[in-house]
């Protein structure tokens, strides 16, 4: 008797699902190497985070990542021994963090940097944002794509991929361009040095983009060099509101500073500022989310799904 296959049924998921309470139970097995002072320092940057969230979500995640780091190191050592590669340098364990504008990627990145640096096997943890690889404003203007800043074509993809290749080749003293959110541009002559850390965290909205297979285009992607990746997810309506809230906060703070690219927004009324923020969201950030960012979600090793209060409600973890 032949069986009938339902071609419309959902395919089996390659992820294990954990709701908040299931994941929280893992915290009892691991230490929390952060203090309230550490959390306050991150919260002072405007990120909604508290000790209970760190304890429930990030404590077990940091312990899990230690297992991935240790496993990769064992495999690398066995590979070198098998191939007789004496003297080959250890290369950094690379974690990619992706997700929409305003979803909280920077919070995740900074927390993981702090947590992982407190573990004895990974004391040196560097953090790089892909903003430094945005093309300078003058070049974006020359190409006529300034309004698409943050879209994949606005990055120096070749330089970013070459940087990742050098990291995984064990090259030290790598210089990463610095981006200023105050002047909204890459700062000429300023660099962050990445010198063979134990762990490198790479944060950016498009870091899970696949390679663009076109003549003259890159044949590899940034994500090809990741050992672990996290996609920070949330309902679009929540992300839009977080973007608006952040815009209103910046209007009262950074936008009013001398030299700020957005200083003209500082004098807007609350109603005008909210309308402006929602216009920018609808015209730029939402299309980028739909076209380029959200489609990369399934490529991540782990997916955080946040609720309206920025608290992680569920986690997907790839089974392999």
For the chain, which domains are there? 15-318 (3.40.50.300)
Contact (CB, 8 A) for 154 and 140? yes
Bridge-based pairing state of the strands 302-306 and 174-180: unpaired
Which H or E element spans position 265?
none
- pLDDT tens for residues 91-139? 999 999 999 999 999 989 999 999 999 888 899 999 999 999 999 999 9
Residue 265's pLDDT band, with cuts at 50, 70 and 90, is: confident
Distance between CA 200 and CA 299 in Å, rounded? 19
In this structure, what token pair is assigned to residue 254? 């950074």
- pLDDT tens for residues 55-73? 889 989 999 999 999 999 9
- pLDDT tens for residues 277-315? 999 999 999 999 999 999 999 999 999 999 999 999 999
Give CA 88 to chain center in angstroms.
29
Tokens 């990120």 identify what position?
47
Region 256-263: mean pLDDT is: 79
pLDDT of residue 86: 83
**Bridge partners for 304 per DSSP:** 232, 315
Q: Provide the whole-model pTM.
A: 0.92
Contact (CB, 8 A) for 239 and 311? no
Distance between CA 110 and CA 42 in Å, rounded? 7
Which H or E element spans position 288?
helix 286-288
Q: How much is the mean pLDDT over the chain?
A: 89
Picking from 84, 209, 110, the residue whose alpha carbon sits closest to that of residue 153 is 209
Contact (CB, 8 A) for 222 and 203? no
Concatenated DSSP letters for 171-188? --SEEEEEEETTTTEEEE
**Does residue 245 have a pLDDT over 60?**
yes
In this structure, what token pair is assigned to residue 32? 């929390």
């Amino acid at each position: 008797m032949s069986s009938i296959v339902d071609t419309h049924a959902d395919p089996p998921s390659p992820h294990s699902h954990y709701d908040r309470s299931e994941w929280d139970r893992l915290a009892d097995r691991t230490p929390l190497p952060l203090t309230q002072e550490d959390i306050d320092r991150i919260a002072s940057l405007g990120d909604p985070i508290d000790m209970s969230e760190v304890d429930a979500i990030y404590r077990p995640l940091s312990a899990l990542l230690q297992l991935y780091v240790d496993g990769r190191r064992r495999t690398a050592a066995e590979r070198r021994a098998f191939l007789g590669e004496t003297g080959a340098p250890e290369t950094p364990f690379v974690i990619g963090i992706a997700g929409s504008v305003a979803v909280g990627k920077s919070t995740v990145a900074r927390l993981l940097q702090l947590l992982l640096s407190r573990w004895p096997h990974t004391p040196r943890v560097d953090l790089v944002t892909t903003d430094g690889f945005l093309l300078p404003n003058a070049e974006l203007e020359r190409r006529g794509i300034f309004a698409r800043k943050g879209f994949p074509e606005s990055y120096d993809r070749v330089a970013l991929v070459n940087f990742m290749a050098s990291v995984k080749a064990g090259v030290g003293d790598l210089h990463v361009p610095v981006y200023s959110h105050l002047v909204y541009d890459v700062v000429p002559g300023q660099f962050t040095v990445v010198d063979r850390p134990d762990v490198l965290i790479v944060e950016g909205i498009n870091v899970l983009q696949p390679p663009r297979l076109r003549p003259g285009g890159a044949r590899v992607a940034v994500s090809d060099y990741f050992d672990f990746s996290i996609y920070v997810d949330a309902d679009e309506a929540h992300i839009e509101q977080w973007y608006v809230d952040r815009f209103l906060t910046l209007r009262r703070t950074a936008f009013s500073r001398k030299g700020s690219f957005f200083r003209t927004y500082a004098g807007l009324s609350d109603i005008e500022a909210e309308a402006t923020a929602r216009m920018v969201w609808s015209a730029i950030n939402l299309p980028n989310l739909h076209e380029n960012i959200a489609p990369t979600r399934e490529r991540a090793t782990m997916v955080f799904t946040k609720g309206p209060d920025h608290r992680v409600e569920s986690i997907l973890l790839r089974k392999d």
